Structures are given as C-alpha cells and as structure tokens.
Amino acid sequence: MKKTFPFIPLDNYREYPLEEMRERLADFYADVSRRRTVREFSPRPVPIDIIETALRIAGTAPSGANLQPWHFVVVSGAKTKRRIREAAEAEEREFYQHRASAEWLAALEPLGTDSEKPFLETAPYLIAVFLQKYSKLPDGQKVKHYYPSESTGLATGMLITALHRAGLACLTHTPSPMKFLNEILDRPLTERPFLLLVTGYPADGATVPDIHRKSLRDYVSFVTD
C-alpha cells in the first residue's frame, strides 16, 4: 500500500521587510566570514549540550527523499581519541611519504600540514560524520538512500556554521582512507566515514595561514535573460 504524508500549512515561514532582510544577511555574513579553519586547539572543555544543539541544527539539513542519510559520533573519551589519533597518523604517514602525488604535496605545502595530528587528542570533541548509503528497516529490509554525499555535505556545512555561531572552532579533517573509524567507533560497513570534525576552542595564540577567499564575481555568474 502506497502511503503519502499529510500536507500541513507552512505556518513557521517568516517573511521580512526588504531592509530587515538585508540587515539580517549582512549581520550573518559579518559573523560567518570570520570563520577560519583552526589546527591548534585548546583542551578547554565544552558542555555537551552546545554540541547537541549544533547537531540538531545539522539535522535540519535537506536530504534526498528526506531520508537523512547521516550519522554523527561525538567522541570525547581520551582512550578513543588516542586510538583515532594513532590510526589517523598511521594513514597520514603513508599519505605524506608514499601515496600523495607531488602535485598534491605542493598544494598542501603553503598550509604546512604534516602527518602529526596532536589536535586529535587535544580538542575536547571529535565529531565523526558518517554517510549512510542505505538504512535497514527493523525487519532487515534495505532502504536505498538518494544523494547521500550531497545530503551529508549539507548537514556538515550546517554543523560547521552552527559551531562557528556558538563561538567554537573546527577543523574538517579527512585522513584518507578513513575506514578505521568504522572499526574504532563500531559503525556498520553500510556507513562510509565522511569526515572528522575536530571541535573546540582554539588554543591561546593559535595562528592561521594568511589565505583569502575569492570575491563574489570570481565564483558567481548571473543569467538574466
């Protein structure tokens, strides 16, 4: 039997007068444009409710057929953070010494990254994001997910924005390959590790590379006819 959702009025929608629209966006832009990826973290604790609210925000992302094909594992335990650091550094050593092409290494050189990942133990939280290619109903039947990469990317973008709005810093870390996360975090093989979001306060005196964002005209074009 085919089921459809009942449709309800869009009661929560809000329209703003144009001036207010501009003001709200200008404020939001001023805030998000201060976001920087940080690689030096303070061990200062962050209450878990802050992370939970940010994850609720992530969970509002649009997704293919509303199947919400994501799972987030919030790691705060020292033992698990250490295991993740050890596994990630082993992969990263392979990457920097053998796997990365000369071209890739040249692209990373200005950022000064290497295989040492102390932040995986220093930061109070590692949020492992998993993408679900499909889910299973209680009877074991498979439910195919649509656009899982796009959907999980959207949810992760919202999470990063939410954490920034809370005054926290993060690092989108992608040790490659990341399969070790399934094992350490006990996630089924139907889930693909998407990225590891290192989250917390920046270390006192943290520095960031002096890089610049493209200007609007360099990444947007308009078609008006």
| Span from 108-116, 126-134, 198-206, 207-215 in contact with ligand IYR (CB under 6 A) | 108-116
Does 173 sit near ligand IYR (CB under 6 A)?
Answer: yes
Tokens of residue 97, six digits: 């010494």
Does 92 sit near ligand IYR (CB under 6 A)?
Answer: yes
**Interface residue with ligand IYR, options 42, 80, 113, 122 (CB under 6 A):** 113
Residue with the CB atom nearest ligand IYR in the bound state:
113
CB of 26 to ligand IYR, least distance (A): 29
Q: Which helix (H) or strand (E) holds 105?
A: helix 102-108
Helix axes 148-165, 18-32, angle to 10 degrees: 90
Residues 160 and 27 sit within 8 Å (Cβ to Cβ): no
Query: How far is the C-alpha of 162 from the C-alpha of 59, rounded, in Å?
Result: 11
Does 175 sit near ligand IYR (CB under 6 A)?
Answer: yes
Size of the site for ligand IYR (CB under 6 A): 9
Burial of 138 (0-12, 13-18, 19+ CB in 10 A): exposed
- The site for ligand IYR (CB under 6 A) is made up of 92, 95, 108, 111, 113, 173-176
